[in-house]
Every structure is written in structure tokens, then in C-alpha cells.
Structure 1
Amino acid sequence: MNLPILTTFAKEVEHELHELLQWWIIYTVDEENGGFYGKIDNYNVSIPHAPKSLVLNTRILYTFSSAYLSTKESAYLSMANRAFEYLNTHFLDTKNGGFYWSVTYTGEQLDGKKQIYGQAFAIYALVEYYKITANTKALSLAQGTFALIEKYSFDPIYLGYLEAFSIEWKSQEDLRLSDKDQNEQKSMNTHLHVIEAYANLYTVWPNDTLKAAISKLLANFKQHIIDQKTHHLHLFFTANWEVKSTITSFGHDIEAAWLLQEAAESIADETEIEIVKTIALQLSEATEKGLAKNGGLWYEYDTATQHWIKEMHWWPQAEAMVGFFNAFQLNGDEKYLKHSLQSWEFIKNYLKDIKNGEWYWGINDDYSLLQGEDKAGFWKCPYHNGRACLEIMKRIKLHSNHSI
């Protein structure tokens, strides 16, 4: 009974994927200085002297590689090649290993710190690029970055991964991912993207040490990161996993729901898969608390002050599309399919920029645009929305094949 709805959903997100990526091809390529502009405003005006971030470059590399893997569009391969070349030439620290956090608009090292979140995205992207090119340098860099994370960031006493290091992989005081984050030794966000990266790496390099690392990460989530009572994620921790946050991040809850399941499936651990499928449904149900009547997902809620951050950012809506669809696939409950479809409707109605392309960063609860945010920038990339389109396309195809 869902096939006509799903067919329409798949066609719409496939069209959206190509529109999104076409925007990135047209507006983000920096012909003068190489790579991609570090910042583009809501009106498609590039800020040519803006710094270029590791997050932006690796997410462009991942998204266009993944899109080429799915569609075989030659323009996507060209963008992926450009992103790989720039990453390899300007972000790679050939002296100390790993990748710089940011470079100047001309490609010189700006912030050389080794933020583990950024190293993880390098692995994630390099693996995806290797899948479409069989470029052994890409795989070698991914494997080498994995070794560096295990050598410097892995905590042999309490397990898990420490947040950040200096350019030379030494301890440093400021561990924050951004100004919005708490300065703690461990975070949910870094662990989520390390396991995401490791799971992708395992698909092309089924290494026993890597498999063990993925298993340990799943244990970290079950034992420390997921609240056993509320099934929300804790966000920040001391080295020994003392919880240091009271914020609920609904976007991360629903993103973790499907990424943790994907990680368990990557190592083909049947016992773990069944456990994580249950967790995926618990996280999805917990995320429902953040849903608004208009189908959007609120940004955050502080349990200590009972204060809502009543903003709707682009990336939680994209992750809700995938996470709720995953829940629907798991138990067939049509409420989850409805949530996924409503997320897409919300995006079309309020976040998609019909005139200038791409999606806005987000809106306030009165539907006004969030001010001062980028269309593309240090954090605003094609990864969440592009990947959401690709995931929905893939999952509906799989669902339809099973239904026939």
C-alpha cells in the first residue's frame, strides 16, 4: 500500500540530490585559489578570502564520491577528484601526519590542530573516494589516519577517544569542536563520527584491529553515551565518562539511530545487530519528543533548565528523513514513515531556497530565517542533505524490491 507514496518520495529526493549537487558545482568551485570557497552567503555570494575547513572539504569529497557511486554522473567524479586533490595537497600534514583543521583561502596551514572529529571525516571521505576510483593513496591515507587516531586519541584506561591534539599530536587545553561546545575530554559527536568512519573503512578493509575498535565503540555508546532511562544521547564527558551535559540534541539522537545500526551491520556481528536494532527504535522513539506539529524537529532541549532551543536547523531534518525511515524498515510502523515524509515536506516548505538553491541553515519558531548563517561554509556542507537523499533512494529501492 505504500509503494506509490514511496515511489514519489524516491523520485523527489533523487531530483533534489541533483539540484543540490548542481548548486555546489556552480557556486562553490574556487577557480582562482583552488579547491572550494570557504564561505558562501544566503544569496550565493562567495566570500573569497574566507578560511577553508577540513570539515567542508572532506564532506564535499564524501558526498560527491557517494553520489557518483550511486549515479555514475561524470560531473560528480570531477568534483570528487578536485576535493581529493585539494585535501591531499593542502590539508595533509606531511610532517606530523593527519590533517589540518583549516587552511587560508590560498591553501596555507591556518589551524593545524588535530581535531579527532575532523580526522574521522577524512577517513570517511577517503574511503568513499577509494570506492569509486580504486586510488590506493586514498586508502593508504585512510588506514594511516586510523592508525594515528588509535595511537594518540584512544584512551587505553577508560576506552573511547579524546577530543583534540596540537599539530604535533600533543595534549592541549582547548578541546572544543566549536565555540558552541563544552571544553570536555570526550564527546558524543566525535564518537559518533569515529564509528561512522571506521564502519565505512571496514567495508573496504576488513581488518581485525579495526573490527575490534568498532565493537568497543558500540560498547561505549551502550554503556556511557546513550541514557538508559530516556534513550537520548549524553553529549559531553570527562575522560572516565562522567556526564557533563544536560542538553538533548534531537538531530544527533535520530542520526545515531541509523548510524549505529550501520556500524553493527558493517562488521556482520549478528548478536550486536539485533541489540542495536532495538537501540535504533528506542532512539527513534525518544526523538519523537522533539517533533513539532509542522513536522519539523526542534534543535535542542535543556533538561536542567527545561528550556527549548526552538530553532529548526537543516541537518536534523535531513537526519530525521533517514532515521525515521530506518525505524519504519525495522518494524513496519507507519508512524515512522509518516515522520520521515513530514520531515521532507518541512524541508520543501521552509528550508529549501526555491530562488537561490540549496537549503537555508534554519528557521526560528516564527518561521523567520536564522540570521548570520551560511549557505556553504565551515560547517554547512552537502553531506547531511545529500546523504539523506542518497539513503532514501537506496532504502526505497531495497524496500520496493522486497515488496515485489
Structure 2
Amino acid sequence: MHYTANDLKDLKRFYSNQLLNDTVPFWFPRSFDKEHGGFLLMRDADGSLIDDDKAVWIQGRATWLLSTLYNTVEKKQEWLEGAKSGYDFLNKHCFDRDGQMFFHVTRDGRPLRKRRYFFSETFYVIAAAAYAKASGDKEAAEKARFVFGKCIEYATTPGLLQPKFTNTRPSMGIGVPMIMMNTAQQLRETIGDDRCDGLISKWIEEIERYFIKDDIRCVMEQVAPDGSIIDHIDGRTLNPGHAIEGAWFILHEARYRNNDPHLIALGCKMLDYMWERGWDTTHGGILYFRDVYNKPVQEYWQDMKFWWPHNETIIATLLAYLLTGDEKYARWHKLVHDYSYQHFHDKENGEWFGYLHRDGSVAQTAKGNLFKGPFHLPRQEWYCAKLLEDHLSINDRK
């Protein structure tokens, strides 16, 4: 199948409408914490609060979202004020004395938990950079660049962060080059940073060299330091949705670099490999974990359908189609789009359920918790709407 120009216009209207009239209104303004700052985001299907703790990841992501909506959709004062509240909460409560960030704090900002990696920091960088652009706050821009520098240190200095495992079976994960690539892309596209282009190229090269296995048509989640497969349960476990997210980060970079053909081929290859391994041909949707050799997966939620891999696959398939014109990607995009909006979308209350059983029935009703909040879904709807708007305007000028 192919999408006609009218199909693409309809899709653009659909994503814009879902974003602005369904997804964002589920969260805001009710999630603004007027008393302590930041956001109250742990919510049930109807929007009622199930916990008033604050996940630092989601505080940063919500700050990024509101700033980005202000920067690219409408200069709405409510969004700017909300972003400032999130930015101020992050600075006031979410950094430990050693400069590392917490993962989980109480409503009033008392620390509950730190983790052994620096993803809180990457979400701070994109939040501070987008807020700096929205507000013109030069200090926010400086902080975004400074914390990005700390992330580079954490990513490249062994022993700087306490390791999760011993060194008996060393490994490296695709998550670090992936998240650093996207953090750099966000920083570059909001406030600019001369380090970004070279670092993005380095992280893409790492992914291509170590994690993509053409002989078995696979993108590994973790490998040994020489790129070989670790033939143990953890080493064999794949996360198709995560690799597909990495694929669209690379396709985004291809587009930024004037449709770089090597990066288009690389991103499409990653998408192809992990669609083949992740798409559930029985029930539809993206399976959460797979084993590289089709052995049993340890995690009991391995065949569930989580919301965010579907958001990433909707973006990746649409990007791949618009960059290549290959009808396969239009077909895949329609499959994952239709599945997702049929099964995850809460037509009564708005937004998406986060967790489905393999057959597509709702496993539990929470819309917000320590890991889910206003990020993957609104980012998907915002990104796809903007992508289609740009594509249609370029074609109209031809």
C-alpha cells in the first residue's frame, strides 16, 4: 500500500488532534503541583491520583514536553509556566550533593532512590535545553550543556558510576549510545552545542559496529566488549521496541543530514530486523522481549504489550516510509497505528493504558507511574504531526 497526499493530511490532523485534544488535556493542567512545584503524574485511568511521589525521569520528560509544545505548537502561557515549575523542581530537589541525580523523590522533593546510571541526567538535559529555548533563560542553557558534559563523562569513564555487575562477564548495552545520541540531537536542535555532531556520529558508529548482527538479522540489546553475543539469558534477551526506537533516532539523523543514504539504510535495516522479531503475527502488536535464539525468555512479562514500543514503532515506520517511499513501511505503519489506537487508547478518559496482555486486553489501568507519564505518547503524536507537516509543505512547494 501507499499513502496518498490526502491520507497523509488525514494522519497529520489525527495526530495533532490526539495530542492537543486527548493526550495533553489528560495530564494538564491537573498534574501541576501548585504546592511543591513539578508534576503529580502517577494517575489511574480516570486521572485520579494513585501516588504523589515523583519520578525524576518523568519530571524531566514532562518539562521537555511542555517546553517543546511552547516552542513548536503555540506560545501558551500555561505551558511555559508549567515547564518553569518542572525545571525549578528538578534543580531544587533532584540533584544529590555529589552532583548525580536521584531517580525517585517524595512529593516535596525528599530523596528516595538513586540508580547506577545517568538517565535522569539525560532527561534533565533535554528539559533544560527546551526550557532555555522557550524562556530565553541563559542559565538554563548553561546548565543543560554542563550536565550534558557530565553525561559524556559518565558514559566514557569506567568506574565513575558504581557498576551493577562484577567484571566476571563484562558487557555493554545499546541504551547508552542510543540515549546519548537522542540527547545530543535535542540539545543541538534547541540551543545548539558544537560537540553534538561529532558525538552523534561516534554513537551511531558504535551501534553499527557492535550491536547490529546482519548474519542473524538482529539488533542486540547488550553484547560483550568485542561485540560478540553473550550466550546467557541476559545476553540473549532482545527488546524489539527499544531497538526500533534507536532505528528512528538514526533515521532522524539521516533526515537532519540531508537524507544521508547510509543512515537511511542503517535505520531501515534495524527496523526491518526487529519488526521481524517483535511483531506478534498471532495477536498483533510488539512483543516486549524475545530471545535471540528463540529460547525461553526469563522475564514473565516477555509477551505483554507495553505502550512505549508502539509509540516508537509508529514513528519509525512513518519516518522510514517518508524517507524511502517503500510501501512495506506504509503497511507496517498502518498495522501498528491501527493496533495501538484500537487497544491502548482509552476512548472514555483519553490517553493510553500502559500495559496489555498478549491478546490485547488491558492488564492494569494506570496511566502514570514511575516509568509511564506524558512522554512517549505525546512525543509520538507531536513528532509525527510535525514530520507530516514538513513533508506536506515540501511537496506542496515542488
For residues 287 and 21 of structure 1, the distance between their equivalents in structure 2, rounded to whole angstroms, comes to 30
For residues 366 and 207 of structure 1, the distance between their equivalents in structure 2, rounded to whole angstroms, comes to 45
1:188–1:233 CA contact under 8 A, matched in 2? no
Question: Are residues 1:172 and 2:174 paired?
Answer: no
Counterpart for residue 236 of structure 2: 246
1:38–1:105 CA contact under 8 A, matched in 2? no
Which of 92, 101, 114 in structure 2 is aligned with 1:89? 92
Higher mean alpha-carbon deviation, 274-283 vs 66-75, is at 66-75
Q: How far apart are 1:354 and its partner, in Å?
A: 1.6
1:101–1:114 CA contact under 8 A, matched in 2? no
Higher mean alpha-carbon deviation, 193-202 vs 282-291, is at 282-291
Counterpart for residue 45 of structure 1: 48
- Matched residues, number: 380
1:361 aligned partner, one-letter code: G
Q: How far apart are 1:274 and its partner, in Å?
A: 2.5
Which of 301, 304, 317 in structure 2 is aligned with 1:311? 304
Which of 364, 368, 375 in structure 2 is aligned with 1:376? 368
Gaps of 5+ in 1: 156-161, 177-182
Which of 355, 377, 380 in structure 2 is aligned with 1:388? 380
Secondary structure (helix, strand or coil) at the match of 1:344 reads helix
1:184–1:236 CA contact under 8 A, matched in 2? no
Counterpart for residue 302 of structure 1: 291
Question: Are residues 1:276 and 2:263 paired?
Answer: yes
For residues 291 and 82 of structure 2, the distance between their equivalents in structure 1, rounded to whole angstroms, comes to 40
Counterpart for residue 199 of structure 1: 185
Secondary structure (helix, strand or coil) at the match of 1:47 reads strand
Counterpart for residue 179 of structure 1: none
Counterpart for residue 180 of structure 1: none
Counterpart for residue 292 of structure 1: 280
Pair 376,335 (structure 1): closer, same or farther in 2 beyond 3 Å: same
Which of 30, 34, 39 in structure 1 is aligned with 2:37? 34
For residues 88 and 227 of structure 2, the distance between their equivalents in structure 1, rounded to whole angstroms, comes to 38
For residues 84 and 193 of structure 2, the distance between their equivalents in structure 1, rounded to whole angstroms, comes to 27
For residues 6 and 251 of structure 2, the distance between their equivalents in structure 1, rounded to whole angstroms, comes to 27
Pair 60,5 (structure 1): closer, same or farther in 2 beyond 3 Å: same
Pair 64,206 (structure 1): closer, same or farther in 2 beyond 3 Å: closer
Query: Could you state the TM-score of these two structures normalised by the residue count of structure 1?
Result: 0.85
Q: How far apart are 1:71 and its partner, in Å?
A: 1.4
Pair 117,310 (structure 1): closer, same or farther in 2 beyond 3 Å: same
Q: Percent same amino acid among aligned pairs?
A: 21
User: What are the within-5 Å matches in structure 2 for residues 193-272 of structure 1?
Assistant: 193-204=179-190, 206-238=192-224, 241-244=227-230, 245-263=235-253, 266=256, 268=257
Q: How far apart are 1:264 and its partner, in Å?
A: 5.3
Cα RMSD (Å) of the superposition? 2.6
1:62–1:129 CA contact under 8 A, matched in 2? yes
Counterpart for residue 10 of structure 2: 8
Pair 303,394 (structure 1): closer, same or farther in 2 beyond 3 Å: same
For residues 355 and 209 of structure 1, the distance between their equivalents in structure 2, rounded to whole angstroms, comes to 46
2:305–2:360 CA contact under 8 A, matched in 1? no
Query: Could you state the TM-score of these two structures normalised by the residue count of structure 2?
Result: 0.86
2:26–2:47 CA contact under 8 A, matched in 1? no
Q: How far apart are 1:242 and its partner, in Å?
A: 4.9
Higher mean alpha-carbon deviation, 307-316 vs 56-65, is at 307-316
Secondary structure (helix, strand or coil) at the match of 1:110 reads strand
Secondary structure (helix, strand or coil) at the match of 1:229 reads helix
After superposition, give the CA deviation of every residue in 1:212-270 in whole Å (9 maximum; x if it has no partner). Answer: 3222211111111222334432112455555442122221222111102334555x4x7
For residues 54 and 47 of structure 1, the distance between their equivalents in structure 2, rounded to whole angstroms, comes to 17
Counterpart for residue 102 of structure 2: 100
